[in-house]
Chain A
Amino acid sequence: MTNKQRLYLLEQMLRIRSFEERVGELFLKGESAGTMLHLSIGEEAAAVGVGAMMQDGDSFTTHHRGHGVFLARGADPKRMMAEIAGKEIGYCRGKGGSMHIADMSLGHLGANAIVGGGISHIVGAALSYKTLKKDNVSVAFFGDGAMQQGILYESFNLAALWNLPAMFVCINNQYGMGTRVDQSSSTLDFAARAKSFGLQADTADGQDIEDVVNKAKKLLKQARAGRASFLTINCYRFYGHARKDKSPYRSEQEETAGRQQDPISFWEENLVKAKIISNKKLETLKKEIDLEMDAALSFAENAKKPELATMFEDVYSPKQAKPLSNKARLDL
């Protein structure tokens, strides 16, 4: 890895954290960010480590905690924030919000508020790539909770059976809502489960982005060659399940210890120690990023709401000869 690449990883992680701190503000200000907002603070190395190793044209789906992955894949924070605020200029015209954001141009096939909901789509995307002889990979990002959904295992099987350019990435933040992973999973060795289906599989340390990068690079390469793969990344969910959850089900000591595993401060220290960045430059970088995200926040707040009539659009193809008429009913 070059120093430039190392700095890039740091910058991307900092951008995610700064974005999420602000989207949390948007949420607390009112209802504009929906009633459910899930922050990936503490999980940045997973998003950036895999995201940075993917290539243009690769596609992906995420779970409900997907801001980080989308930013790591090049999302414009302005349009992302606007989407979360339900604005017309947002990525999905204000129809998706945080939990269902999608963008075709960046290969984001969609975040999903149904746990496990988007996983099988990457199998289909990968099958299309294979059929159309494209050199792309499709990647599913999901949490440890989804490791218990049946659809994951149907997807594992298809990806391995059909030798697909597909990669499954489990961001194991130790919790599914209030349930700790050892209370919900018969094994904590997720990679072993994946291997038993014939997938290439590994486990990465989510505090150490270099470890994530190395493993993601290898597994993406294998997936691209038709050997579907799986990577589980261990990290800790720093805050509540959703913005308002105060996590009464875990102790303060546990949280304090968990937050020690901060991938950002870990990487910062490494880079400063190796003199790849000075403390002063680091401060400047953080300030610049914060300004960018402040601007995204005010952009979203000032953006226009979609017209009311747009709520009836996009249900079916616009080519539909006789659109189903909902509009008249608004008068009633």
Chain B
Amino acid sequence: MPRQNIVKTIAKTLDQQMEIDSSILVLGQDVGKRGGVFLATEGLFDKYGPDRVIDTPLSEAAIIGAAVGMAAYGMRPVAEVQFADYVFPGFDQLVSQAAKIRYRSGGQFFAPMVLRMSAGGGVKGGHHHSQNPESLFVHTPGLKVLYPSTPKDTKGLLTAAIRDDDPVIFMEPKRMYRSVKEEVPEEDFEIEIGKAKIVQAGDDVVLISYGSSMDKVLEATKILREQAISVELIDLRSLMPWDKEAVLKSVARVGRVVLVSEAPRTLNFVSEVSACISEEILDSLLAPPIRVTGFDTPYPYAYDKEYLPSPNRILKAVQKVLDY
């Protein structure tokens, strides 16, 4: 099995699926000849040509809208928005149209499309290149939202997203595009949408996170191991639907939980997870759940790193739930 980073995995997965299913096509700005700003579609244009790998103008609304129409009429488009921050010129097409096409047509039409986008901060990009808008998507019934953090999960979930019959927002942690490598099976496989991954089992505290925040969480987990604190680490991977069952099971057993996500704090996706924990298993909690998040500010430029939930902030939160 080849060791592979996340971007390479995306390109190879798209290639594999396009080989299997001729209704899949890729579209977006510079996804063709240039292979994508991050090279996540590298090689596809040469292999599949301009009919299946489409370089589009700078028109997010039309890219997303056209994907809806294509999906309604037999294709499986995988559209790319280079940065999650650029989705907003096309947000209406996503929220008002893609998300609702099945519902409002009484199930006649549906949009089996994937919208890929890089997300997350810490890359000195400022407020238009660093955001994590997953909560906005999750808050839009009709959309599915995935946000994996490893190459293997990327492959399994992207495959599942492409085969899914509803619009799937596929978020990619740009900070970790090349920094995380692991062995990825060559064969075609799917990971079920809506299933979390227990990255490591433990008894003292449950750490819950996903996507771009996972790098900091893993750093914190390493330090906690050195301190002999036993961590159960859950990578949600899928945010809509999310794996409530796995979360409640772990937290009920351990009794202490810290939830980490770099998106702004208010209505952060983990706030929903935390609310469900409090609502459903309050009796098994030994301490109130604590969220470690980004801040309720636009993503800062000068203090790009400080915005992120650092290992240090995560460790403090863990200490707090342990000391409670």
B-binding residues in A (CB < 8 A): 31, 34-36, 86-87, 94-97, 99-100, 112-117, 145-146, 148-151, 176-179, 183-185, 248-249, 305-306, 308, 310-312, 315, 324, 326, 329-332
Further pairs besides A87-B302, A96-B301, A116-B58: 11, Cβ < 8 Å: A34-B124, A34-B301, A95-B301, A97-B126, A100-B301, A146-B58, A149-B58, A179-B30, A184-B55, A331-B316, A332-B290
Q: Given A35-B124, A249-B34, do A308 and B59 touch, yes or no (CB 8 Å)?
A: no
A117 to B85, CA, bound (A): 12
List chain A residues, Cβ under 8 A from B307.
311
List chain A residues, Cβ under 8 A from B102.
none
In B285-319, the 8 Å CB interface with A consists of 290, 292-293, 295-298, 300-303, 306-307, 313, 316-317
List chain B residues, Cβ under 8 A from A248.
34
Task: From A34, A306, A315, A331, name the one whose CB has the most chain B CB atoms within 10 angstroms.
Answer: A34
Contact B124 A114 (CB under 8 A): no
Contact A305 B29 (CB under 8 A): no
Instruction: Choose one: A249, A310, A315; the contact of B296 (CB below 8 Å).
Output: A315
- Distance in Å from the Cβ of A314 to the closest Cβ of chain B? 9
A-binding residues in B (CB < 8 A): 29-30, 33-34, 37, 55-62, 85-86, 88-89, 123-129, 265, 290, 292-293, 295-298, 300-303, 306-307, 313, 316-317, 320
Contact B301 A97 (CB under 8 A): yes
Contact B33 A184 (CB under 8 A): no
Q: Nearest chain-B residue to A305 (Cβ)?
A: B302
Contact B89 A177 (CB under 8 A): no
A49 to B140, CA, bound (A): 47
- Distance in Å from the Cβ of B303 to the closest Cβ of chain A? 4
List chain B residues, Cβ under 8 A from A34.
124-126, 301
A131 to B37, CA, bound (A): 43
Contact B30 A178 (CB under 8 A): yes
Q: Is the interface of B mostly helix, strand, loop or mixed?
A: loop
List chain A residues, Cβ under 8 A from B128.
99-100, 112-114, 117
Contact A177 B29 (CB under 8 A): yes
List chain A residues, Cβ under 8 A from B33.
178, 249
A184 to B86, CA, bound (A): 18
A236 to B300, CA, bound (A): 33
Q: Nearest chain-A residue to B50 (Cβ)?
A: A183
Contact B125 A35 (CB under 8 A): yes
Contact A308 B303 (CB under 8 A): yes
- Distance in Å from the Cβ of A151 to the closest Cβ of chain B? 7
List chain B residues, Cβ under 8 A from A99.
126, 128
Q: Given A150-B59, A185-B57, A331-B316, do A36 and B125 touch, yes or no (CB 8 Å)?
A: yes
A303 to B297, CA, bound (A): 24
Q: Nearest chain-B residue to A32 (Cβ)?
A: B124
A178 to B128, CA, bound (A): 20
A150 to B34, CA, bound (A): 24
Contact A183 B55 (CB under 8 A): yes
